[in-house]
């Protein structure tokens, strides 16, 4: 199929452009349905007249329905979208990018979603859907799953289907909750995930930025110690990667500390660790939960993050943490490849 796509690109490049445009329109309708033409045109950044012509075509092919509330994708349209994913993957040459990054970063697996989260907000749903499918395929009975918080991990949980076939699954927060948004905190996501897969869950109510003395005292609490012991036996870890400054602000650090992070060249954050562009740890926020040294003992560690602007952060964290699986988008993947090639890190 890969060779056929390359041939099509050479012989009829305009055909490939049309397919990509209609795929993007259909996908946008799917994620925002019911949706009107004007909002769809704004989402895609193209004129209403072009959208109207394409919508009429998709309607004539029974791929969408148009009703008073707006446009929706038909069952046939959903099937076409699913089948087009592999085609779009080949059109963009993402299998080659995957292979390059798999070898360069010594990954067990990498999955790249077409598009760029910086340009299309709906890509976060594609990341979530891709990760949810991967996790489902790797779930086993008696597994312990740990999750960090964040909007990307939330997208994963939102796309996990109801599952009842696995017994004795335990879902845990990988560390204490941060930020003011309860919906994206690890405790909330762990509980929601457990409900979807008919599993058990435990919550970890521990704030960030605790002193060493306070941490030691909390670890002596029976309930917290039991949860931490379970976290250390994690089989699947699902975590996001953030930009250093953004995550520092979310964790409520002082402006002085943020300036210190900048001085140290911090570009990425995960689990309270801050990394510079070489992947070196330049700062650590003590907390209760997963620690870097425990990752190598976890059966499946899955990092999920997207957007070209996050490429350096993803690369820096991955160089240090060595997550086994990376799920990202095209924008980030291509930029990571560019950085590696420019710095001869391949």
pLDDT over 90 (residue 170): yes
Question: What is the distance between the alpha carbons of residues 110 and 141, in angstroms, rounded to a whole number?
Answer: 24
Task: List, for residues 112-124, the tens digit of each pLDDT value.
Answer: 998 899 988 889 9
pLDDT over 90 (residue 90): no
Q: What is the mean pLDDT of residues 1-18?
A: 67
Question: What is the distance between the alpha carbons of residues 157 and 128, in angstroms, rounded to a whole number?
Answer: 7
| Residue 176 pLDDT | 67
| Residue 8 pLDDT | 63
Task: List, for residues 187-213, the tens digit of each pLDDT value.
Answer: 999 999 999 999 999 988 776 666 667
| Residue 346 pLDDT | 46
| Residue 288 pLDDT | 79
| Residue 190 pLDDT | 94
Question: How is residue 162 annotated by DSSP?
Answer: P
Domains of the chain with CATH codes: 2-91 (1.10.10.10), 94-342 (3.40.50.1360)
pLDDT over 60 (residue 179): no
Answer whether the bond into residue 34 is a cis peptide, omega within 30°. yes
Question: What does the block give as tokens for 110?
Answer: 């990498």
Q: What is the mean pLDDT of residues 97-107?
A: 95
Name which of 150, 81, 91, 100 is nearest 306 in CA terms. Answer: 150
Q: What is the mean pLDDT of residues 245-269?
A: 89
| Residue 284 pLDDT | 87
| Residue 210 pLDDT | 65
Question: How is residue 233 annotated by DSSP?
Answer: T
Q: What is the mean pLDDT of residues 337-345?
A: 85
| Residue 6 pLDDT | 64
pLDDT over 90 (residue 265): yes
Task: Please spell the DSSP secondary structure of 75-105, one letter per residue.
Answer: HHHHHHHHHHHHHHHHHTTHHHHHHHHHHHT
Mean pLDDT of the chain: 88
pLDDT over 50 (residue 267): yes
Task: List, for residues 123-136, the tens digit of each pLDDT value.
Answer: 999 999 999 999 99
Task: List, for residues 281-319, the tens digit of each pLDDT value.
Answer: 999 887 778 888 888 889 999 999 999 999 999 999 999
Ranked by mean pLDDT, the top range of 83-87, 264-268, 294-298, 341-345 is 264-268
Q: Please state, for a pLDDT cut of 90, what percent of the chain lies above it.
A: 57
């Amino acid at each position: 199929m890969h060779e056929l796509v390359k041939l099509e690109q050479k012989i009829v490049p305009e055909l490939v452009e049309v397919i990509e445009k209609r795929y993007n329109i259909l996908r946008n309708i799917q994620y925002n349905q019911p949706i009107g033409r004007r909002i769809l045109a704004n989402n895609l950044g193209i004129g209403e007249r072009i959208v109207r012509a394409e919508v009429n075509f998709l309607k004539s092919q029974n791929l969408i329905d148009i009703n008073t509330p707006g446009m929706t994708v038909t069952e046939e349209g959903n099937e076409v979208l699913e089948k087009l994913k592999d085609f779009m993957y080949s059109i963009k040459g993402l299998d080659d990018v995957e292979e390059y990054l798999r070898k360069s970063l010594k990954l067990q697996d990498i999955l790249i979603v077409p598009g760029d989260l910086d340009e299309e907000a709906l890509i976060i749903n594609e990341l979530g859907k891709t990760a949810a499918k991967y996790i489902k395929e790797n779930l086993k009975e008696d597994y312990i799953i740990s999750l960090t918080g964040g909007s990307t991990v939330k997208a994963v949980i939102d796309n996990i289907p109801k599952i009842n076939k696995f017994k004795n699954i335990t879902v845990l927060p990988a560390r204490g909750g941060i930020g003011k948004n309860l919906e994206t905190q690890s405790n909330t996501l762990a509980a929601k995930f457990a409900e979807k897969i008919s599993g058990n869950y435990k919550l970890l109510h521990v704030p960030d930025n605790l002193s060493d003395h306070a941490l030691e005292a909390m670890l002596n609490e029976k309930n917290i110690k039991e949860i931490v012991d379970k976290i250390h036996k994690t089989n699947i870890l699902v975590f996001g990667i953030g930009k250093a400054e953004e995550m520092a602000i979310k964790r409520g650090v002082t402006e002085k500390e943020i300036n210190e992070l900048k001085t140290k060249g911090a570009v990425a954050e995960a689990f309270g660790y801050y990394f510079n562009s070489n992947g070196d740890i330049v700062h650590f926020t003590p907390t209760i939960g997963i620690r870097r040294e425990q990752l190598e003992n976890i059966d499946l560690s899955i990092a999920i993050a997207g957007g070209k602007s996050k490429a350096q952060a993803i690369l820096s964290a991955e160089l240090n943490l060595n997550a086994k699986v990376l799920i990202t988008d095209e924008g980030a993947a291509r930029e990571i490849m560019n950085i590696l090639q420019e710095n001869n890190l391949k």
